[in-house]
Structure 1
């Protein structure tokens, strides 16, 4: 409850924060979104820029981001078919909060690592 208000969570209507973070907070989604920030990319370009993601995981991540409205997948009727990915307006609207989260993580990573080591959880 970040705003101090109680929110009723009914069956079928999950907490908005948990629902969104579960989807974009996985290992790859933020990297894919950041890779698409400059503009349209093909699957192989995204894969090359991220580097250590498998084709299967990239495909799954792109599919989930598309289902959630962050990414648009466009198939061009060519031989062979050309498939391009781009951020939607929703995806673009997420870039500022994403940058803030990345900046916060960068600024606080050393403190978090030190706290983990002190707690014996490193």
Structure 2
């Protein structure tokens, strides 16, 4: 097993220099687990921020040979849980297959005061089987 920390140049760069966006845990058979840091985005509405967050997640996964379909776990942090349906509507446009395991939390605030949502995921990349 080998671990690599990465901020892929092909994806939006992190909002802070204090973390890596992707931790790739590579296994000998070629399979890997990808742990993505929580992602936030600019935008004035939860819908806009959610869309941008999932676009960033898609870009980070793509840089490591994965897609949104490879997500096996998702954790969502909302500053207003009453907007869960609004988030879910956008999420379903990006995660169209069997839903991953999931947890959603309401939090009083996030890393940036304007952030309404933060999403972190774990994805599994197939090996040579």
Q: What is the TM-score normalised by the length of structure 2?
A: 0.25
Larger radius of gyration: 1
Q: What is the TM-score normalised by the length of structure 1?
A: 0.26
